[in-house]
A and B are shown apart, each in its own frame.
Chain A
Amino acid sequence: MTKVLTNRFDLKGGACDIDVYLKTGGYQALARTFKDFTPDQVIEEVKKSALRGRGGAGFPTGMKWGFVPKESKRPKYVVCNADESEPGTGKDRDLMRYDPHLLIEGMIIAAYALGARDNYIYIRGEYWYIKEILEKAIAQAYERGYLGKNVLGSGFECNLYVHPGAGAYICGEETALLESLEGKRGHPRLKPPFPAVVGLYGGPTIVNNVETLAAVPWIIQNGGEAYKALGTEKSGGTKLFTVSGHVNRPGNYEVAMGYPLMSMVNNECGGIPGGRKLKAIIPGGSSVPIITAEEAEKVNLDYESMGTVGSMLGSGGVIVMDETVDIFETTMNVTHFYKHESCGWCTPCREGTRWLFKVFERMHRYEGRPGDVELLYDLADKILGKSFCPLGDAAAMPVQSAIQKFRDDFDRRIKSTLVQINTAAD
């Protein structure tokens, strides 16, 4: 299979050194960009590739780049979203620590396409050691003239800065990320205007995931059509998945879009340990609806196929759970995460996640009251679609899908004596 992103993973970090990176074909896409492409042609090529945002939402990348106005009074920016905080996802970490120059190259090409001089990598605070790797790589790129006042003698100026976050999940949301990058409290911004028009410091800004930007050099080298051909009609190329949970070989795997989910679990990851049965899979990080073992058999790893079972590809964090797992506990864990990470901006998310967790807590002690499962479902329903940013939806969807598909695990938590007392009173 053609690899786009993980070609240098086998070097175990050797590619952090620019010489190794150059020897293995690095920075050739950049050279080619300056030689053969105008900025518009780069955007055109990315559009052709059907590359979609790998951060979770899956928005077509070329279209996003096309929203940036040609003429702007303020500077434009390219911002890389490396605030990888989705539970179950660790793909960007490996991309950055095994192949930092790939990201840097992708960012320079994006910056060239959009005419951005100053660009930022907003990295998760916990990835401090990767920040050091990136900074070393950036220093090397400056040394060799890939960054700086005059990139490869083209006259194009490009600067790159790494900015660490401080551990808030919300800062992975693109507008909250920009707020944080500006030095403010990480709260999402009102949209519209979208960042492509009014973003960082009021300038047009493109915020892309690490994986998205890392795919760009390959697209330039091999053409958009070739990239698209790797995947399906609507979901081009390959994608990196982080598989965790009950599999024999958890890890990051790059597979082509449209690859069957169970093939990845059984082949790449070596199946489920101890010969136990599969119970459920969260296919795209903790925010997406959970799917059952039966549904998992049917789906392929692309945006459209996932939609058919009511779930999403998300950020590609596949969490595999075998028959020993109590889905109630899993969902409670996820809810705790969202309760803790809700930024507090809007009512439904702030109050809803807290209330959800309170109900989970008493059910966890087997003290659930009759009607609590319905309450959970209804609370999630009242959050869904009403919050200021997608984080509310992310908190609500796992709860709803878990109740729909694994109702038994929830019902077990209701204290039945209460039912009897109530009945007796009637």
Chain B
Amino acid sequence: METVKITINGQEVAAPKGELLIEACEMNGVYLPRFCHFRGLTPQASCRMCVVRVDNPKIPKLQTACTMPVSDGMVVTTDSQEIEEVRSAMIEFLLSNHPVDCPVCDRAGECELQDQTYGFGEDRTRSQYDDKENFLERQISPFIYNDPQRCVVCKRCTRVCEEWMDEFAITTVNRGSQTLISSFSGWVECSDCGNCVDVCPTGTLLHVPYKYVARPWDLKQTPTVCNFCSDGCSMLAGSRSEKLIRTVARDGRGRTAGGINHDFLCSLGRYTIDFVHNRQRVDRPMVRRGEHLVPATWDEALNFVAQRLSEIKAQNGGESIGVISAGRLMNEDQYVLRRFAEETIGTKNADFYHDDDEVDLAAFFKYGTPAIATQEHIQSADTILLIGSDPNEENPLTAFSIRWAVRQKAARLVIVNSMPSRLERQAQTAVRVREGSEPALIHALVDESRINDAASAMGVDAGQISDIRRVLVESAKVVVIFGDELRSAAVEALALLEETLATPNPEVAEASRKAHIDALQRAVKSSNSTQKPSINENPYTYIVEHPTLEVAAEPVSSATKFSFVPLVRYSNSMGAWQMGLDSAGTGGLSAQAMINAAGGSIKALYIAGEDVVSKAGGNASIVRSQLEKLDLLVVQEMFLTDTAELADVVLPVTSFAEAQGTQVNNGSQVQFVRRTIPPVGQARPDWMIVTQVARLMGTDFNFQGQLKNVFKEIAEKIDGYSGLSHNLLANEGATIIRRALPDSGRIDHADLHNRLAMLTAAIDRSVAVDSSELTAKAGSRLQNRYPLITRYSEMISPKLAEESALEAPAPVIFPA
């Protein structure tokens, strides 16, 4: 990165060219106080705390460092008398109407206003009791409390809502000293991501579930990784007295969890964690006695399982036993389960449960491992192609990265989807196609001659498809983000994109990008330096003209033009695949096939962490009757789910907060999950239970009860993991697992094209294209997606029900 020399307080230092002065100072050890400045948000310069004196170039007035890009030879003073006076004056102003009710404020202890008052303010104020105007504290959403009197109007919250989430749910209302953070109705309708609360520097916005629960200094804050969708956000899990209390991406003091997600978390990562302490947790092993599941000791339960499995194995052979795991179990669990199936039981029937409507990883990895894009790749992509998914609803961090790329880096976003998505607002091209016809796009992309056919199958104009094809050809780096709707042959065919859509030469890509930026600059759209774009306007136009406001990060290099993000469903679906716990790899029956064969060739099932009955949806009763045919059903589970209720033995397991291990996100990055609290009840980690059953059945895996030994073996045996260890991952954070790229020589082109043609031909052309607007509440699909967790989260579930039942309260109107 290009650097320039600047002088801060007489000391010459280097800073990245175009970086904001406030950040350049911080890089060089000079902290400038700030409220409104926040990395990743547009500058606003309203709090006036970061003022500095700029002597070269000579500027008569004090300048805000948060809006000033560094230039070569700049001379800055940050610690003179006049600057200290301004800072303490601003603190005095901010406190002049502040209630100073720190003893009852949840933010106290991690409050930036407190910190900066100590650091830069006076020890007294001239503001008197009768100088203050009172505002009422109120709840503005199921998850947010608002105390307007504590507000410093830095507007980080509204900018986060607009720029990161694109929701425009909260804004400032009223004017001047009456300014409040609110929505227009007074009640906030949004996806409840809670990011506004996390970035709030004071106690103005507070998490409802955290209110009056703990003081920040009493919390043990453990950096860990979220367990819901496949994005794998890092978060700080705060626990107290062995209880998990909250998760944040960033605490009020600016301490972040690190990781891949900036300061971002979504509603699930933040508000569903109370399932960990749900009273319905199975806290001891249970064994079926007649009609009922009754508590048992671990010895009893494990011996029972080992004995019954041994009997069935002896009677019907190992192949009569199936092992099913869940995509949310960690690598170590998956690996031990695989060894358990292979060595102890001797069955090929081992699979992690994934539905037909999930991304087909077997097809994706058929010819090798295509380049996989991380969040960083997405954020620096030239063009993003999104097919058959709505990350905004299902993978919020990916959606955040997409918006970031479009906004900060002027990436081109092309969406081909059968469903509405809020990301369409950011898209350069958004094409709505027939339901289930997304695979035809891949057909058209790999075979230009089929564009017309594919277009008619998709119910769109052929010109649109060839436009998309042209954009992809002319782009230097393309990230393809695909979800559920892309079916097997189409997923396989993604490996062909690299050769069929190669850029003829770099000049073409450069010219095309120039033309794109030129078009953006010509477009008559809202431009704004300090504020936000209006809804439906392209937000990034100003940034493009003034690149200094956002330092262009070094583009993340990847050897190939195309890289992919398979939006798999669970936090460790990718890891389960990598551990080889997949029927496509083992050659046995898939999870669904095992259930279908129950009572036939399958006599016993060992299910770890998956509620196969609820998962079946409309077929739940069929699955239930299938499971009833089994001789033995062992379920490792946190709750008495529909599946667990049918089990002969239920073994209580730890949740992500109580277990250690590693998991792999959709960017193929392996991350270390730390243990936050001790196990609830008698719960044990999945891998440990399986190891114990195995030992009782006569196989010793030689892990000596140590998780790190499991990972040591994974590092030795699993492709791409060599050299990794828990220690390394704990220190380094997310680490990309690299494997060999697809071998195009292995692709049978004729066969693949045939299958693609069949896919295209099979599309039902009588279906109408859904051109509706998004109507469901933002984030609701995400919440419905993890029923196991959300059902047992009292924060999310009753709130959801309550919210639909309650009418919004009458707006609180303050006199002007």
Which of A's residues lie within 8 Å of B, judged by CB? 73-75, 168, 179, 182-185, 187, 189-190, 193, 198, 201-203, 339-348, 350-355, 358-359, 362, 375, 382, 385-388
Contact = CB atoms under 8 A, between A and B. Distances in A.
A227 B170 CA distance: 52
Interface in B794-816: 816
B531 A179 contact: yes
A325 B175 CA distance: 31
A202 B537 CA distance: 12
A348 B94 CA distance: 8
B530 interface: yes
A339 B176 contact: yes
B58 interface: no
Contact of A203 (B93, B178, B524, B816): B524
A388 B96 CA distance: 19
Given A340-B176, A340-B816, A342-B177, 12 more contacts: A74-B521, A168-B175, A190-B45, A202-B526, A202-B545, A341-B175, A346-B45, A348-B90, A351-B97, A351-B177, A353-B177, A382-B92
Interface string B156-187: 00000000000000011011111100000000
Interface in B767-803: none
Contacts of B126: 375
A362 B545 CA distance: 50
B456 interface: no
Interface string B77-119: 0000000001001101110110000000000000000000000
B279 interface: no
A346 B47 CA distance: 6
**The 6 residue pairs across chains A and B that have the minimum distance between CB atoms:** A202-B527, A354-B177, A344-B179, A351-B93, A342-B176, A382-B89
A73 B152 contact: no
9 contacts: A74-B523, A189-B531, A190-B67, A198-B529, A202-B526, A343-B176, A346-B48, A353-B177, A386-B62
Tell me the interface secondary structure of chain B in the complex: loop
A254 B43 CA distance: 43
Given A348-B48, A358-B130, A382 B93 contact: yes
B48 A74 contact: no
A94 to B, nearest CB: 29
A198 B528 CA distance: 9
Nearest to B524: A201
B172 to A, nearest CB: 7
B542 A202 contact: yes
B8 interface: no
B525 interface: yes
B172 A185 contact: yes
A289 B286 CA distance: 84
- Among A74, A190, A201, max chain B CB count under 10 A is at A190
Nearest to A201: B524
B46 interface: yes
A190 B86 CA distance: 20
A201 B47 contact: no
Contact of B545 (A179, A198, A339): A198
A352 B522 contact: no
- Among A168, A182, A339, A375, max chain B CB count under 10 A is at A182
Contacts of B291: none
A351 B125 CA distance: 14
Contacts of A343: 175-176
Nearest to A372: B126
A193 B549 CA distance: 12
A185 B176 CA distance: 12
Given A184-B534, A198-B542, A347 B528 contact: no
Nearest to B46: A346
Contacts of A198: 527, 529, 542, 545
B401 interface: no
B97 A354 contact: yes
A354 to B, nearest CB: 4
A106 to B, nearest CB: 25
A387 B47 CA distance: 9
A86 to B, nearest CB: 17
B2 interface: no
B518 A73 contact: yes
B180 to A, nearest CB: 9
Contact of A202 (B51, B525, B530): B525
A349 to B, nearest CB: 8
Contacts of B542: 198, 202
Contacts of A74: 521-524
Contacts of A359: 131
Contact of B176 (A189, A350, A382, A385): A350
B331 interface: no
Contact of A344 (B86, B176, B527): B176
A263 B527 CA distance: 48
B57 to A, nearest CB: 12
Given A340-B176, A354-B97, A183 B534 contact: yes
Contacts of B746: none
Nearest to B179: A344
Contacts, number: 134
B546 interface: yes
Contacts of B527: 198, 201-202
B153 interface: yes
B550 to A, nearest CB: 14
Contacts of B90: 347-348, 386
Interface in B36-70: 43-49, 51, 61-62, 67
A114 to B, nearest CB: 17
Interface in B494-543: 518, 521-531, 534, 541-542
Contacts of A347: 46-49, 90, 93-94, 152-153
Contacts of B531: 179, 184-185, 187, 189
B127 interface: yes
Contact of B93 (A75, A183, A348, A385): A348
B133 interface: yes
Given A339-B177, A353-B177, A382-B89, A201 B46 contact: no
B51 to A, nearest CB: 7
Given A202-B542, A348-B89, A355-B131, A189 B521 contact: no
A196 to B, nearest CB: 14
A354 B134 CA distance: 13
A105 to B, nearest CB: 26
Contact of B43 (A75, A190, A339, A352): A190
Interface in B534-573: 534, 541-542, 545-546
Contacts of B177: 339, 342, 344, 350-351, 353-354
A385 B62 contact: yes
Contacts of A202: 521, 524-527, 541-542, 545
Contacts of B97: 351, 354-355
A134 to B, nearest CB: 24
Contact of A341 (B48, B92, B176, B534): B176
B534 A182 contact: yes
Nearest to B816: A340
A75 B522 CA distance: 8
Nearest to A203: B524
A61 to B, nearest CB: 23
Contacts of B524: 74-75, 201-203
B113 to A, nearest CB: 12
Nearest to B549: A190
A161 B739 CA distance: 62
Nearest to B527: A202
A353 B525 CA distance: 35
Given A73-B522, A182-B534, A354-B133, A386 B179 contact: no
Nearest to B88: A382
Nearest to B546: A193
A390 to B, nearest CB: 11
A290 B100 CA distance: 37
Contacts of A341: 175-176
Given A198-B527, A385-B61, A385-B62, A73 B178 contact: no
